[in-house]
Amino acid sequence: MENNHYEVLVVGAGISGAALAYELARYTDIKSIAILEKYEKVAPLNTQGKANSQTIHFGDIETNYTVSKASITKKTAKMVEKYCLQHKLENEIIFSHQKMALGVGDREVEFLLERYEEFKELFPNLQVWDKEHLKTVEPKLVFDADGNERPETIVGIGSTGEWTTVDYGKMTENLIENAKKEPDTEVDLFLNTQVKDIEKRDEGGYEIKTNNGTYSADSVVVNAGAHSLFLAKRMGYGMDYATLPMAGSFYMTNQTMLNGKVYMVQNPKLPFAALHGDPDILENGLTRFGPTALVMPYLERFKPGTYLDFWKTLNFDANIVTIFWDLLKDYDIRRYIFRNFLFEVPYFNKKLFVKDARKIVPSLSVDDIHYAKGFGGVRPQVLDKKERKLMLGEASINTGEGIMFNMTPSPGATSCLGNAKRDVINLCAYLGKTFDKEKFEHELLEENLTQSQIDQKLQAKYVSKIREEIHAHEEKYFQNVNEGHELPSYWEKPYSPWRNKRDHWSM
Ligand SMILES: Cc1cc2nc3c(=O)[nH]c(=O)nc-3n(C[C@H](O)[C@H](O)[C@H](O)COP(=O)(O)OP(=O)(O)OC[C@H]3O[C@@H](n4cnc5c(N)ncnc54)[C@H](O)[C@@H]3O)c2cc1C
């Protein structure tokens, strides 16, 4: 592009940056887009297949999702599925496995049966699998090392024949390839190009300084994962926020133990996903257990040089101490944090991890698993210093001045196309461009639930203590950051049923 000037410049070629470039190229009349990526290839960090659990999170087997949240998450998850099917990526990028949430013991079984009643309309393919059925579909869940049946009651709430698993790294490559194919838009990808500084220009737009020269753009979206807040702070935005990098590691088995994805019931007090077992599509279906959760003082996994960036983004002060104190004074959270720390300590790690994973596979022994070296990534959890709390889910800072910053912990890969849609609408409003909503909805949206269907679900009467705890957990952690001027045209459509802040986080 002449003069290195673009209408939109995207920082970061993970799945968030790639999804945005694709949607801008395919569904808008924006003519020029640049993607700047610090490393030598696309999806080098959290998006690559070894870094994450490869799951499309619909909300059916993730027991920390309420039905209202799942109805939103399902919509964005379906976009990933529809994209992959539209481009014929079956068994190359998107895969199908059986999947379930596993309840162990009376309390969890009862909870899952209640949850099933509440969720079955939203997920009509969900089934209830008792121990006898589990013996045939997922026998390792039932028998111990001596071939005896486990003593506890168990139930699986799951489905078969659904698209469950994605190689998000390959999907990122595919999104960029397809963006480049759009005939009326120029899409340029610059690798080995690290953004050092972004400055507002007097004449409008932004100047982007990199190790590889200077670019300019009318608008900028920073999809730099854990570095998004780092770059925001350099410009004076997001000063009330901090990033807490939660590293996640995995343990790999020496054999295929599970035929599909098995998620455990989440303790609603714990801010991170419960341990699960998944067939790894990059390792011939060997079972991968994890992820663990451990705070680490760097912003990127397996890469040097981000220690100082961590401290600059954390901006340690009394508010951070309060947030940590609030978390640590709860026994369950304290125990969870300590245990996850031990999962990284040689000798103790395997023994302790196996103890936890035996809740899924009772016959699992220390010899069956090994620490998956080189697997895992970092979830940039956002701390709200003003509110003095840790937030879960994605956060987005929209300055209203043509520059946005996105922080994307899990399930950021699942919601890449949904998040991109939010940014596309905001960018079009800012730049005076047109978003072809009809084409987008035709290609990527599953038919909408009507408001009355959603209301019915929200009024469902299945209330138990554990459900109240989940609601309390959601209230506490899920919130969207939207600084500066909100663009009203976005919040009014197309999701007007959900106007309160809590529900915006995943769109
Ligand atoms: C252990 C674990 C398990 C997970 N499991 C799942 C799952 O099963 N399903 C799911 O949906 N999500 C999952 N996630 C979350 C998911 O992986 C992330 O949300 C998603 O990959 C984020 O994509 P991204 O493009 O926003 O960020 P990233 O993939 O982190 O990409 C950011 C990009 O920005 C680049 N960058 C950074 N700074 C600069 C700079 N200054 N200049 C230029 N480029 C820069 C980086 O090099 C990188 O390529 C998991 C995450 C972890 C850690």
The per-residue b/e assignment along 170-192, b for 16 or more CB within 10 angstroms, e otherwise, is bbbbbbbebbbebeebebbbbee
Tell how far the Cα of 114 is from the centroid of ligand 1, in angstroms. 34
Token readout for 305 is 């040089």
Q: Could you identify the atom of ligand 1 that is nearest to the CA of residue 18? A: 25
- 286, 256 Cβ separation under 8 angstroms: yes
Q: What is the mean pLDDT of each run of 10 residues along the chain (507 residues)?
A: 89 98 98 98 97 96 89 94 98 97 90 89 91 94 94 92 97 98 97 98 96 97 96 95 92 95 87 87 96 91 91 90 86 84 84 93 95 94 88 88 93 95 96 97 81 53 49 61 43 32 35
Instruction: Say which amino acid occupies 222.
Output: V
C-alpha 357/C-alpha 20 separation (Å) is 37
For the Cβ of 55 lying below 6 angstroms from any atom of ligand 1, the answer is: yes
CA-CA distance, 47 to 15, in Å (whole number)?
6
Report pLDDT for 502.
36
Is 24 exposed, middle or buried (CB count within 10 Å of its CB: 0-12, 13-18, 19+)? Answer: buried
Q: Determine the Cα–Cα distance for residues 177 and 15; give it in Å rounded to an integer.
A: 13
Position 504 scores a pLDDT of 37
Phi/psi for 362 (5° steps) reads -60, -25
Residue-wise over 71-97: b if at least 16 C-beta within 10 A, else e? bbbbbbbbbbbbbbeebebeeebbbeb
Phi and psi torsions of 337, nearest 5°? -65, -45
pLDDT for res 326 = 85
State the pLDDT at residue 253.
Answer: 96
Sheet of 127-129: strand order equals: 127-129, 154-159, 99-104, 261-264, 276-279, 287-290, 251-253, 369-371
Angle in degrees, CA 128, 259, 138, rounded to 5: 45
Element (H, E) at 352: helix 348-357
Q: Residue 380 has what DSSP assignment?
A: E
Contact in structure between 112 and 63 (CB atoms under 8 Å): yes
Indicate if the alpha-carbon torsion angle 20, 60, 446, 431 is positive or negative: negative
Q: Which two structure tokens, joined as six digits, stand for 29?
A: 């009349």
Is the CB–ligand 1 distance for residue 410 below 6 Å? Answer: yes
- With 0-12 / 13-18 / 19 or more C-beta atoms within 10 angstroms meaning exposed / middle / buried, residue 229 is buried
Separation of 138 CA from ligand 1 center, angstroms? 31
CB 15 within 8 A of CB 225: no
Which residues, at least 6 apart from 211, have a Cβ–Cβ distance to it below 8 Å?
Answer: 192, 193, 194, 196
pLDDT of res. 228: 97
Structure tokens at 353: 């991890």
Ligand 1 centroid – CA 409 distance (Å) = 7
Is the Cβ atom of 103 under 6 angstroms away from ligand 1? no
Q: Which atom of ligand 1 is nearest to the CA of 394?
A: 19
DSSP 292-342: --EE-SSSSTT-SS-HHHHHHHH---HHHHHHHHHHHTSHHHHHHHHHHHH
Ligand 1: residue of 22, 35, 45, 288 to mutate (most ligand atoms within 8 A of CB) is 45
Q: Are 392 and 409 in contact (CB under 8 A)?
A: yes
pLDDT of residue 410: 86
- First-to-last alpha carbon distance for the chain, in angstroms, is 32
- Ligand 1 pocket, residue 158 CB under 6 Å: no
Burial of 265 (0-12, 13-18, 19+ CB in 10 A): buried
CA distance 140 to 137: 9
Which pLDDT value is given to residue 495? 29
DSSP tag of 450: P
pLDDT at 473: 60
What is residue 325's predicted lDDT score, i.e. its pLDDT? Answer: 87
> What pLDDT is recorded for position 461?
37
298 CA to middle of ligand 1, Å?
A: 14
In residues, how long is the chain? Answer: 507
With the most atoms of ligand 1 within 8 angstroms of its CB, the residue from 39, 50, 52, 61 to mutate is 52
For residue 391, CA distances in Å to 323, 387, 410 come to 11, 10, 12
For residues 71 and 119, give the distance between their C-alpha atoms in angstroms, rounded to a whole number. 9
Pairing of strands 287-290, 276-279: antiparallel
Is residue 75 within 8 Å of 414, Cβ to Cβ?
no
pLDDT at 503: 37
At 242, phi and psi to the nearest 5? Answer: -140, 160
Q: Give the tokens for residue 450.
A: 């009507």
